[in-house]
Amino acid sequence: MSYVGPDFDPPQPRRPRRGPLTVALAALVPGALLGWLVYEAVGGSGGSSGAAGTAASSSTVSSSSRAPAASAATPGTNRSTNDAKQPSATPTTSAPAASGALKGKVIVVDPGHNPGNFRHPAEINRQVDIGTNKKECDTTGTSTNAGYTEARFTLDVAHRLRTILERQGATVKLTHDGDSPPWGPCVDERARIGNTAHADAAISIHADGSAEGDRGFHVILPASVHAGAADTRPIVASSRDLGERVAGTFLRVTGEPPSNYVGEGTGLVTRQDLGGLNLSTVPKVFIECGNMRDSKDAALLTSGTWRQKAAQGISEGIVSFLRQS
Ligand code: ZN
């Protein structure tokens, strides 16, 4: 991979005990539709398909609830103007809606990295304890070859996801929002924000920095870790459930295929080296929405229309998880 950092250590491909995408899809769509969806998303179109607009869903979320698509952000743009030495740990919290299917549910959305990290190398290189070992506070993340950064991508998808979930009554907390704080927060703090909020579900949004030709999304599940401050044993099963549902709905809504370079085609990877997962006490997964260094994936990731689909796909997985929990 072209990027070395906490989120990009070579993951250990792992074959799950069953076909997770099939299971997740089966829980969400009628059987007759399933075969078509799998064909369409995995072997059929090989890219953005019509599945998003036509697939039936057990969720009440509909395309009519989508926010208007925005154009791709300008590469290199940075709104951060605050040079404070320490980032505020205060998460951005939305006002809970008065009603809706997700009323009373708390969802923490963690936009991976921070657009300001590039200007704070000393701060983000500081080592923090993730239970199993020590690791950098945070990293800059990757970017497309044209310079659209992962940090801007994750923040944009997080905003869209927040809007969708709030419309259904959820309370949504972002671990950071643009220049607040101006860098980070550190990965241990990102986990702590979800824990302190007693989140019903938490998700960290990323895009990968692998080689050209490496395509597709994958959802990262916490391994069972019990070391130091890390103890994921209580959340492994629930996080897998959340991750399988998110993978299934993301595939269906975006048409993006599961990764062809990790996860053996399942779209799921289990890791024990991510502080954001190791230190979580609430159900949590990461999603790598695509590979920014692949030209085909980059064309999708830089499209506002596609990012709206990404947010919609993620939201439907979360909603599915919360409704059965
Ligand atoms: Zn990342």
Cα of 149 from ligand 1 centre, angstroms: 10
| DSSP single-letter state for residue 234 | G
297 CA from centroid of ligand 1 (Å): 15
**Distance (Å) from CA 175 to ligand 1 centroid:** 14
135: helix, strand or coil: strand
Known catalytic residues are: 288
Radius of gyration of the chain (CA): 18
Spatial distance between the Cα atoms of 266 and 160, rounded to a whole number of angstroms: 26
From first to last of its 325 residues, the chain has per-residue pLDDT tens of: 333 344 443 444 444 444 545 444 444 444 333 333 443 344 333 333 333 333 333 333 333 333 333 333 333 333 333 333 445 455 566 555 557 899 999 999 999 999 999 999 999 999 999 999 999 999 999 999 999 999 999 999 999 999 999 999 999 999 999 788 999 999 999 999 999 999 999 999 999 999 999 999 999 999 999 999 999 999 999 999 999 999 999 999 999 999 999 999 999 999 999 999 999 999 999 999 999 999 999 999 999 999 999 999 999 999 999 998 6
The rounded Å distance from CA 140 to ligand 1 centre is: 8
Whole-model pTM: value is 0.74
Q: How far, in Å, is the centroid of ligand 1 from the Cα of 62?
A: 29
Q: How far is the CA of 235 from the centre of ligand 1 (A)?
A: 22
Going along the chain from its start, the domains and CATH numbers come out as 23-70+90-324 (3.40.630.40)
- 107 three-state secondary structure: strand
CA of 120 to the centre of ligand 1 (A): 17
Q: Which CA distances in Å does 186 have to 3, 6, 313, 324?
A: 18, 11, 27, 32
